[in-house]
Structure 1
């Protein structure tokens, strides 16, 4: 079961939750791609600074506050993910509405907890 995941808001900073999530996703054998402000690599995953047309993305896990998510609304929908995970602090009713309109499942949860409890 490989749920290819895009970490949106990825960081090279090892104290950031997005960084921890990339490590944990890779450790759990989840194919992972990432987009952040600075390019680099975390746990073998390249952090892109643009919006590549990734194929087969199952889950997008958000690590951006609602204001910073706005620039990605159309991009998120264009990837046609099966679900979007709103990590703590990323909850966004405006984006919920867009996802509902596009029949994309979403949940407010913590990717790290989901992985730790085998609920991912």
Structure 2
């Protein structure tokens, strides 16, 4: 059985379609609000959770979990930042967005450096 994160949306539908193309179906046993809750539930049950590779590696270091690659390629998903217009000019919100953006830019570079 599978864990699902959040409410069904584009990622869930894309995942279900991809599984169907490979003759597989999703059977959701538990829905949780975020990746950490999915990891905790997977570590304490017989459920499996599909999370991004980078997230899975971190959770495997912290919990009694094992990462397994999908037997087929999963399409790249884009991450986007969105905010209300009233916070667009707020200095604190701008600073926070810049930290998030820089961290996301650094992640692929750091991964390449680790691989050598």
TM bucket normalised to smaller: 0.3 to 0.5
Query: Which structure shows the bigger proportion of residues in strand conformation?
Result: 1
Query: Which structure shows the bigger proportion of residues in helix conformation?
Result: 2
Bigger Rg, structure 1 or 2: 2
Q: What's the TM-score, normalizing by structure 1? A: 0.34
Q: What's the TM-score, normalizing by structure 2? A: 0.35
